[in-house]
Amino acid sequence: QKEVEQDPGPLSVPEGAIVSLNCTYSNSAFQYFMWYRQYSRKGPELLMYTYSSGNKEDGRFTAQVDKSSKYISLFIRDSQPSDSATYLCAMSGNTGKLIFGQGTTLQVKP
Amino acid sequence: DTEVTQTPKHLVMGMTNKKSLKCEQHMGHRAMYWYKQKAKKPPELMFVYSYEKLSINESVPSRFSPECPNSSLLNLHLHALQPEDSALYLCASSQGGGAGHRDTQYFGPGTRLTVL
């Protein structure tokens, strides 16, 4: 079993839809949770960072962490074609070493 | 400014060539990382430098040789690579070398390497 599980998709939604991306994990030592967005043939771009449980909002993006369920989510409101990319969840414990999910490919259709 | 720069953007090399990838950051970050990413896969950690010292080597073959000349620069020297080493090579940096908000990693755009 992988330490971090993420459905690779692809996920296709119409423009304006609410998108929900999720990861589950098995290591209870993880405390730091990140979402990266990666456009094709580019480097990952940090979108959201969350420490421990709770919600964090930044514009159209909301990150949620539920440590009791070992489950994290990224919601994108009013999705745009420019949101079409691969979304990678990543997490770390005290080592600082990032453990990535497989990435979910999102396509937002105009 | 959270910019990490990498050169070159693209590199094509033969199996007998020697080449180097370069990474630079001017954010005052003290940890720098090399990752390898194959198509449709997440980045795989190769090396970590913390305060200019190699702190993690993820059992990477010796044909990859990292170097950290100073706190802003990170090189990856390549020699006698194999076609299966073709990938996107990503550099990242973070404020510190441990865990926490200071250690959020910021990635460069990558070097796309093709080994013929």
Q: How many A×B Cβ pairs under 8 Å?
A: 65
In this prediction, residue B100 carries a pLDDT of: 58
Q: What confidence tier does B95 reach under pLDDT thresholds 50, 70, 90?
A: confident
- The minimum CA-CA distance between A72 and chain B, rounded to whole Å, is 17
Chain A contact for B110 (CB, 8 A cutoff): yes
For residues B21-40, average pLDDT: 95
Chain A contact for B67 (CB, 8 A cutoff): no
Mean pLDDT for all residues in chain B = 92
For residues A10-32, average pLDDT: 95
Q: Which of B21, B33, B103, B113 to mutate to test the interface with A (most CBs of A within 10 A)?
A: B103
The two tokens of residue A13 are 């939604």
In this prediction, residue B98 carries a pLDDT of: 59
In this prediction, residue B97 carries a pLDDT of: 65
For residues A26-38, average pLDDT: 93
- Which percentage of chain B shows pLDDT scores above 90? 79
**Chain A residues within an 8 Å CB radius of B39:** none
In this prediction, residue B112 carries a pLDDT of: 97
For residues B77-100, average pLDDT: 88
In this prediction, residue A1 carries a pLDDT of: 76
Identify which of A31, A62, A65 has the alpha carbon closest to the alpha carbon of residue A48: A62
Q: What confidence tier does A54 reach under pLDDT thresholds 50, 70, 90?
A: confident
Is the CB of B90 less than 8 angstroms away from the CB of A41? no
From residue A46, alpha-carbon distances to A37, A39, B86, B104 in Å are: 7, 12, 25, 9
Q: Which H helix or E strand runs over A45? A: strand A45-51
Residue B99 has pLDDT above 60, yes or no: no
Taking chain A, what is the end-to-end CA distance rounded to the nearest angstrom?
37
Residue B89: how many other CB atoms lie within 10 Å: 23
In this prediction, residue B2 carries a pLDDT of: 65
Q: What confidence tier does B103 reach under pLDDT thresholds 50, 70, 90?
A: confident
